[in-house]
Structure 1
Amino acid sequence: MQRVRKGRTSLRLLKEQKWLFLMSVPFVLWVFLFNYVPVWGWTMAFQNFRPGRAFGDQEWAGLSHFAELFADERFYMVLRNTLGMSLLSLLVGYTVPIAFALLLNEMRGKVFKRSIQTIAYLPHFVSWVIVAGLVTKMLSVEGIVNELLMLLHLTDEPIQFMAKEHWFWGVVTMSDMWKETGWNSIIFLAAIVGIDPELHEAATMDGAGRFRRMWHITLPGIRPTIMVMLILSIGWLTSIGFEKQYLLGNPIVSDYSEVLDLYVLNYGIKVGRYSYGTAIGIFNSVVSIMLLLISNGIFKRMTKESVI
């Protein structure tokens, strides 16, 4: 009887919301075509893939490409760079937007507040090509940063920032923070708007100041959003792209600038080793899924918040 009732409820729901289901069909097809169908290409990682040959004519290689990957010392160096820059980006690029959203919410002047929001959002829409050019110019020997340092007598001679390999992670992290802080704060600002204003009014009547209200009302109010975004960010630790590293890097700092996606480009696609590049992509995807599931399980136990 219970199964019959559930079936009737599902049919009734389908009938009542048929137009919503029909509207979602194009998006479901889009996800299927561009996210699930390409997974078939993972078979290349188990072949010595040669373009132009039919699938049945490809030579199967088993796990040899994965064995080659884990035996390559440069792969571990690239993995170190990827995780290092990802953790720095998570630390800075995740906490700073939260702080920015909290401070922006406390502004009272609407015109000034909207002006700050607009200025903070604009860098997101600037391409990394332009941002990399600006950063490189500012940090050059004749750039404004060196001029200021020498003007303030903090250094006697110009510093070659872009030639310091140990500084590269910091340059990338700061550049990314400047570009994305305003945009990443939008979701936290939206969560803050959903907090009941009466809680702030009651706290104000009890004598709580702005910072105390931020700590005891605003932050706990957006805690679910913070946890969900943190879990998703951890899941993307090994997938940070390559644009920033490719545009800001140079041969001098290559040992600290090369990341997994750039490694795939250099040692997979450029030299025609498509099977090897696919093996790296599979490793990247599997690690991302594992990180997502592990972080989701840990936060679910600790905070009761999860995305799955």
Structure 2
Amino acid sequence: MAVRMTAYWKKNIVRHWQLYAIVSVPVAFLIIFNYVPLLGIQLAFKEFNPVQGIWGSPWVGGKQFAMFFESPFFWPIIKNTLLLSVYSLFIGAPAAILLALAMNEVGNQRFKKVVQMFTYAPYFISTVVLVGIINIVLSPSTGLYGQLTGLVGITDPIDILGDPSAFSSLFVWSAVWQETGYGAVVYLAALSGVNPELYEAARIDGATRLKKIFHIDLPAIRPTIIILFIMAIGGLLSVGFEKVFLLQNIMNLSTSEVISTYVYKIGLVHMNYSFAVAVGVFNSVIGFVLIFIANFLARKYSDSSLF
């Protein structure tokens, strides 16, 4: 049986070698850049020595994890990370859904395309440029915000960029402006699959626009909402590094220090590679567990789940 299967596979590969050649490139990319680096996870359980290398460094077990859990920075960075993630999730996702529902109700196709273009365009702005725009606009001395406050007689305006309490809102609402149009595309694609006869029947029955949204549109995109929500739950501790790091300064550090920036500083700046890898492994394990929990709850209380 095994010999027959081997012969079958050889014959199949020879017959369709072009397809296998095409697939081999992304598969090789996936293995080299996603699976081979997993060997570096062992650094989390070692005391890395650059001279001895990854394989020769001594094992220390869970020492690095214990150091992280006992660190005075543990709870502050966990709290900051969760705050930014949950804030982003419960503001960004509804914003994309509302935009998609509103655009789906627009009858003028030309106006709809113009609105979609203007809401989608900010997604192509790089994070560095976005943070530069924020700094230019909100600078209390030379920015638009400083100039406007000066015109009304305020000589010492609040430094929004340095205010710890303003960091999370600044991070989240700038992301809403940049990413809502892109997020709405997924829901618009789901709404495009709704049977037009449902809208015709609802109009004949005298349903208002709100009733059509609640009884036709939302049920149609509910599976998409659940899948994206599960994936977002898995990334609760994975706040984007670039934007946080670029908006971060010494004044707002108490609320802007998250796991990703902490790992960068510990691993690359202070060159404590083992400790940084341990923190990264902790982050990944928690995200993995959260995905399973969210998927279990979604499967239990709805008809949609990721797996």
TM-score by length of structure 2 reads: 0.89
Taking the aligned partners of 1:69 and 1:100, their CA distance within structure 2 comes to 41
Corresponding position of 2:88: 89
Taking the aligned partners of 2:133 and 2:278, their CA distance within structure 1 comes to 35
The residue matched to 1:60 in structure 2 has which SS?
coil
Aligned residue pairs: how many?
A: 297
Kept in 1, the 8 Å contact 2:40–2:54? The answer is no
Kept in 2, the 8 Å contact 1:44–1:274? The answer is yes
Q: Percent identity?
A: 35
Taking the aligned partners of 2:138 and 2:260, their CA distance within structure 1 comes to 25
Kept in 1, the 8 Å contact 2:299–2:305? The answer is yes
Q: Tell me which stretches of 4 or more aligned residues in structure 1 moved more than 6 Å.
A: 149-153
Q: Which runs of 5 or more structure 1 residues have no equivalent in the other structure?
A: 1-6
TM-score by length of structure 1 reads: 0.89
Cα distance change on mapping 1:115 and 1:37 into 2, 3 Å: same
Matches for 1:1-308 after TM superposition, within 5 Å: 22=20, 23-142=22-141, 143-145=143-145, 158-308=157-307
Taking the aligned partners of 1:278 and 1:120, their CA distance within structure 2 comes to 38
Deviations 1:34-63 (A, max 9, x none): 222211100111111122424443121111
Taking the aligned partners of 1:28 and 1:170, their CA distance within structure 2 comes to 40
Deviations 1:211-251 (A, max 9, x none): 22111101101111111011111111111121111111110
Taking the aligned partners of 2:286 and 2:212, their CA distance within structure 1 comes to 39
Shift of 1:26: 3.2
Cα distance change on mapping 1:149 and 1:228 into 2, 3 Å: farther
Shift of 1:109: 1.5
Shift of 1:32: 2.3
Shift of 1:21: 6.7
Taking the aligned partners of 1:56 and 1:140, their CA distance within structure 2 comes to 49
Q: Which runs of 5 or more structure 2 residues have no equivalent in the other structure?
A: none
Cα distance change on mapping 1:150 and 1:305 into 2, 3 Å: farther
Deviations 1:150-204 (A, max 9, x none): 8789x89622211211111111011111111111111111000011111011111
Cα distance change on mapping 1:19 and 1:113 into 2, 3 Å: farther
Kept in 2, the 8 Å contact 1:146–1:159? The answer is no
Taking the aligned partners of 2:171 and 2:54, their CA distance within structure 1 comes to 41
